[in-house]
Amino acid sequence: MTHQQFPNTRKRRLRKHNFSRRLAREHRLSVDDLIWPVFITPYEGQEDIPSMPGVARHGPDALLAAAERAVALDIPAIMLFPVVGEDAKSEDASDAYDPAGLVQTSVSAIKERFPELGVMTDIALDPYTASGQDGLTDDAGYVLNDETVEVLVKQALSHADAGADVVSPSDMMDGRIGAIRQALEHDGHIHTQILAYSAKYASAFYGPFRDAVGSAKSLGGASKESYQMDPANSDEAIDELILDVNEGADMVMVKPALPYLDIVRRAREAVNVPVMAYQVSGEYTMMTMAAAAGALDHDAVMVESLTSIKRAGAHGILTYFAPAMATLLSD
Ligand code: PBG
């Protein structure tokens, strides 16, 4: 490529006018890019989450109202995250695959009312383990891999039975994508999609989420570093992505998003399935709390951060901003 010298090249010419900025724009957000993570509880009503301004836990009726809002805003899909009481937590996490459980009943209620809305579910045991870990633990507190995968398979099947369109393992156990794919096929769930959290980092940016679902208390300061990825690694992420695609993932995910845009870019180049990025709770909270304090412009940082995730290569973005962003796009 030839590179012309100044003043033949004045990069600012195109930036001077809105019409040419519009024509030159390489990436733009669309409502089609958005997945809305929604917290659900068995209790009626809606409860604000103090560490996540503007985000609530939804009881059964509030969940249907949220689903209706998603449909009205043309958001393609929502992802459900359960907040269950102590009575649903145990050593064996058996509530995770209860056909009458919170996620299962919520999925069928949404699919019955809004069949066109994509419903995604989180596959991991952290809401249901007494330890707050994503898997079953041994006496030393180590998260067991193969034993956990067996429970994750039951959890995924119960979600598929309830009508989930997409199951999304966020647990980072080895071999779980292959095991879940095989079980889904075996049970005739040939259309159930798997969105694999392939490159999920052991991140401090999950803090507000753990408050929201109550796993921070169960974890009691314990870490997830024995299964989630080291934030210092990048080649390893590519290995994880390729493994999950080969095991049968339809889509892959990088999480968190903003501190890991290099991974999103590498993921896009490494695999040919859709790459999703999760703008996690801590990212959302940093921006919304700074905006509430008057230090940042809420809508401007929302648009800029989401655009940067697209520019990095993401096909879709899980974001707590989804309803606000969709509203802005529709105005
Ligand atoms: C747990 C899970 C976590 C998130 C999604 N699924 C937290 C964790 O790994 O402790 C984090 C999402 C967010 O921070 O918004 N399986």
For the cut 70, the answer to whether the pLDDT of residue 2 exceeds it is: no
Reply yes or no on whether the pLDDT at 309 is more than 80: yes
Judge whether 92 and 151 are in contact, CB under 8 Å: yes
Q: What is the mean pLDDT of residues 225-254?
A: 98
* pLDDT tens figures, 144-159: 999 999 999 999 999 9
How many Å lie between the centroid of ligand 1 and the Cα of residue 248? 22
Confidence band, pLDDT 50/70/90 cuts, at residue 4 = confident
Confidence of residue 237 (pLDDT cuts 50, 70, 90): very high
The residue whose C-alpha atom lies closest to atom 5 belonging to ligand 1 is 170
pLDDT average, residue stretch 255-269: 98
- 124 Cα–ligand 1 center, Å: 9
**Can you tell me which atom of ligand 1 is nearest the CA of 284?**
15
Residue-wise pLDDT for 10-57, tens only, equals 999 999 999 999 999 999 999 999 999 999 999 999 999 999 999 999
**Whether pLDDT at 1 is above 80:** no
Instruction: Choose which residue among 103, 128, 129, 170 to substitute to test ligand 1 binding: the one with the highest number of ligand atoms within 8 A of its C-beta.
Output: 170
Do β-strands 275-279 and 251-255 pair in parallel, antiparallel, or remain unpaired?
Answer: parallel
The pair of structure tokens assigned to 20 is 């040419």
What confidence score (pLDDT) does residue 107 get?
98
**Residues with active-site annotation:** 200, 255
Distance from the CA of 206 to the center of ligand 1, in angstroms?
A: 6
Q: What is the pLDDT of residue 217?
A: 83
Query: Considering the chain, what is the average pLDDT of its residues?
Result: 96
The residue whose CB lies within 8 Å of the most ligand 1 atoms, and thus the one to mutate among 126, 213, 288, is 126
Q: What is the residue with the minimal CA distance to atom 8 of ligand 1?
A: 206
The ligand 1 site (C-beta within 6 Å) comprises 122, 124, 126, 134, 170-171, 206, 209-210, 224, 280-281
Atom of ligand 1 nearest to the CA of 320: 15
Minimum-distance ligand 1 atom for the alpha carbon of 134: 16
SS3 labels along the chain: CCCCCCCCCCCHHHHCCHHHHHHHCCCCCCHHHEEEEEEECCCCCEEECCCCCCCEEECHHHHHHHHHHHHHCCCCEEEEEECCCHHHCECCCHHHHCCCCHHHHHHHHHHHHCCCCEEEEEECCCCCECCCCCCCECCCCCECHHHHHHHHHHHHHHHHHHCCCEEEECCCCCCHHHHHHHHHHHCCCCCCEEEEEEEEECCHHHHHHHHHHCHHHHHCCCCCCCCCECCCCCHHHHHHHHHHHHHCCCEEEEECCHHHHHHHHHHHHHCCCCEEEEECHHHHHHHHHHHHCCCCCHHHHHHHHHHHHHHHCCCEEEECCHHHHHHHHHC
pLDDT at 304: 98
pLDDT of residue 215: 81
**Stretch 110-124: mean pLDDT:** 98
For residue range 207-234, what is the model confidence (pLDDT) as tens digits? 999 988 888 888 998 999 999 999 999 9
Q: Mean pLDDT, to the nearest integer, of 72-84?
A: 98
Predicted confidence (pLDDT) per residue in 276-289, tens digit: 999 999 999 999 99
Please report the pLDDT score of residue 31 as a whole number: 98
Report how far ligand 1's centroid is from the alpha carbon of 163 (Å).
Answer: 23
User: How many percent of the chain have pLDDT more than 70?
Assistant: 99
Which residue puts its alpha carbon closest to atom 11 of ligand 1?
206
Q: What is the whole-number distance in angstroms between the Cα of residue 280 and the centre of ligand 1?
A: 8
Pocket of ligand 1, candidates 206, 219, 226, 279: which has the most ligand atoms within 8 Å of its Cβ, to mutate? 206
pTM, entire model: 0.97
Mean of the pLDDT values across residues 237-250? 98
Ligand 1 atom closest to 279 (CA): 15
Mean pLDDT over residues 176-187, rounded? 98
Ligand 1 centroid from CA 155, angstroms: 17
Work out the average pLDDT over 235-264.
98
